[in-house]
Structure 1
Amino acid sequence: MANTSSAKKNVRKMARKTAVNKARRSSVRTFLRRVEEAITAGDKTAATAALQQAEPALMRAVSKGVFHKNTASRKISRLNKRVKAIA
């Protein structure tokens, strides 16, 4: 347990940041899930629309420090490849 007042404050700060980051990560995962569902359904227009919403959400999470830039780029690239593969 934290002993000093500054350590206690840091614990409070971390708790707030953790909650915010958890919400952001959850939101991004929802966007990614929508793309996945559209791909498995074989609906190219829905998948394209979902990807256009997911991409900025993912990059916004990167700018907030939730995901690493390369991770987001990799996810977008792979999803884009799968959306284009829908015939």
Structure 2
Amino acid sequence: MANIKSAIKRVEVNQKKRTNNVSQLSAMRTEIKRVEQLVEANDTDNAKAAYQTASKHIDKAAQKGIIHKNAANRQKARLAKKVNA
């Protein structure tokens, strides 16, 4: 464990940020899985609505630096392709 006061604070801040990032990443993945399940069930109306919320979660994650912006765009494109197919 760190001895210096600033290093102790960095450890605490990093843990809080990591906890927040993990929860947002988990929420994003849950939304993506929800869209994929609705697509498999051929529920197009609900799948399109779920895609909108998943897209918001993906954009938020990219905006906050949790995932890379290109990865976010790739995930959204793949989901849109599944929904439209």
The alignment's TM-score, normalised by the length of structure 1, stands at 0.91
Q: Which runs of 5+ in 1 are unaligned?
A: none
Aligned letter for 2:67?
A: F
| Backbone CA RMSD of aligned residues | 0.9
CA distance in 2, matches of 1:52, 1:5: 44
Moved over 4 A (4+): none
Displacement of 1:3: 2.2
CA distance in 2, matches of 1:81, 1:33: 15
Alignment of 1:20-39 (within 5 A): 20-39=20-39
The alignment's TM-score, normalised by the length of structure 2, stands at 0.93
Q: Which runs of 5+ in 2 are unaligned?
A: none
SS in 1 for 2:61: helix
Displacement of 1:35: 0.2
Find the counterpart in structure 2 of residue 4 from structure 1.
4
Q: Is 1:71 paired with 2:66? A: no
